[in-house]
């Protein structure tokens, strides 16, 4: 009997990825160590939420880099699921011809789509891959770094994102016409951060269906803490203040650092994480950000909260509303790491109930 298979469940959503699959992965390495390479299985999976695709590729790349060889991926002949992954360019990015060679899978499962009653699938409903730039950290002069950064953002903003993302953002008119340019500005900034700072491949997708528009960006890079460590003379004054205001424990380190990141972006007059978060919650959407062991979930409650603009009060509010029932909690602290930075956005036509998922 093969006992080194880790199975995805029937449905892969953002919630099940972080709370079920990553926990199973953590327990696997805790029990077996790192010598026996795991096999990953989609054999029992019927549905994959589009916003998980960047993370499915990211975790695979993380394991592939660790074991220095492709990770075996087991498939079943499920034409609807395979068609979705095929049209999303999942197999193209993770396969042996992409240069990444993340997963080793039987490509005989890919096909037979002419038998399907195909649902509409926008050609732009695909995962985009962005290669890291090592040149940024090699520049010693801050002005040169700034100009290089502006150049990357300009290329993304003017050449790539209007073609890649704009048709999906316009789909079903969830985003007003006047907001389109703003979203492109913010997405250019966020993706450029992954390209410049993470030292890792990054992946992004924008997907729309009749229920919601999904935006997901993920890298498996050095993360916020190490990236901030490369900033000259950065004093972490906000983290120190926040620690003094909270009942501090070590498990809050990543939580506190996420708020340091928001403090930094809030006080920079740029299109950035803070402004993206504000825009999403004001549209009654959901904004999730994960770093290392911690995930924050901002929802429409935050748009009504007078504490949201005061970061120390906001952090206290997250801790106050922390719930051991993870699906109900805006703050999730896991006992396992997942490296890099992972951002997810959901925009709805209407939101009928409060939920953090």
Per residue of the chain (357 residues), give pLDDT as tens.
Answer: 468 999 999 999 999 999 999 999 999 999 999 889 999 999 999 999 999 999 999 999 999 999 999 999 999 989 889 999 999 999 999 999 889 999 999 999 998 777 666 666 678 899 999 999 989 999 888 889 989 999 999 999 999 999 888 888 877 666 777 778 888 888 898 999 999 999 999 999 999 887 888 999 999 999 999 999 988 888 999 999 999 999 889 999 999 999 999 999 998 877 788 888 988 888 888 999 999 999 999 998 887 777 777 899 999 999 999 988 888 899 999 999 999 999 999 988 654 433 434
pTM of the model: 0.92
Query: How much is the pLDDT for 169?
Result: 81
Query: How much is the pLDDT for 87?
Result: 92
Distance separating alpha carbons of residues 315 and 16, to the nearest angstrom: 25
Structure token digits, residue 263: 């403090």
Q: Domains of the chain: which residue ranges?
A: 5-115, 128-348
190 within 8 A of 273, measured Cβ to Cβ: yes
The number of angstroms, rounded, from the C-alpha of 23 to the middle of its chain's C-alpha atoms is 17
Question: Residue 85 phi/psi, 5° resolution?
Answer: -65, -40
Query: How much is the pLDDT for 118?
Result: 60
Structure token digits, residue 331: 């703050």
Instruction: Give the helix/strand (H/E) hosting 280.
Output: helix 273-282
310 within 8 A of 294, measured Cβ to Cβ: no
Q: State how far the alpha carbon of 149 is from the alpha carbons of 143, 144, 161, 182, 341, in Å.
A: 10, 8, 16, 18, 19
């Amino acid at each position: 009997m093969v006992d080194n298979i880790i199975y995805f469940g029937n449905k892969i959503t953002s919630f099940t990825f972080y709370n079920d699959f990553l926990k199973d992965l953590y327990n696997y390495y805790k029990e077996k160590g790192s010598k026996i390479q795991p096999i990953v299985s989609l054999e029992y999976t019927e549905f994959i939420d589009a916003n998980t695709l960047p993370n499915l590729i990211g975790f695979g790349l993380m394991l592939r880099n660790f074991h220095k060889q492709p990770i075996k991926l087991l498939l079943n002949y499920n034409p609807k699921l395979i068609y979705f992954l095929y049209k999303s360019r999942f197999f193209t990015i993770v396969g042996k011809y992409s240069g990444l060679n993340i997963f080793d899978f039987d490509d005989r499962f890919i096909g037979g789509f002419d038998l399907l009653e195909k649902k509409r699938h926008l050609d732009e409903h695909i995962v985009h891959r962005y290669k890291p730039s090592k040149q940024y950290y090699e520049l010693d002069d801050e002005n040169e770094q700034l100009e290089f950064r502006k150049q990357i953002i300009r290329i993304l903003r003017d050449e790539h994102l209007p073609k890649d993302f704009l048709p999906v953002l316009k789909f079903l008119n969830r985003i007003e016409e006047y907001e389109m340019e703003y979203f492109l500005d913010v997405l250019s900034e966020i993706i450029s951060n992954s390209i410049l700072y993470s030292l890792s491949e990054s992946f992004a997708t924008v997907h729309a269906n009749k229920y919601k528009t999904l935006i997901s960006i993920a890298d498996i890079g050095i993360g916020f803490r190490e990236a901030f460590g490369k900033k000259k003379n950065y004093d972490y004054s906000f983290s120190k203040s926040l620690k003094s205001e909270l009942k501090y424990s070590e498990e809050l380190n990543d939580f506190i650092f996420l708020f340091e990141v928001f403090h930094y972006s809030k006080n920079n007059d740029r299109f950035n994480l803070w402004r993206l978060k504000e825009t999403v919650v004001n549209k009654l959407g959901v904004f999730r950000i994960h770093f290392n062991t911690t995930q924050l979930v901002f929802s429409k409650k935050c748009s009504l909260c007078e504490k949201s603009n005061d970061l120390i009060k906001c952090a206290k509010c997250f801790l106050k509303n922390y719930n051991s029932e993870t699906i109900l909690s805006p703050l999730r602290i896991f006992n396992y790491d997942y490296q890099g930075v992972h951002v997810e956005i959901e925009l709805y036509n209407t939101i009928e109930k409060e939920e953090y998922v």
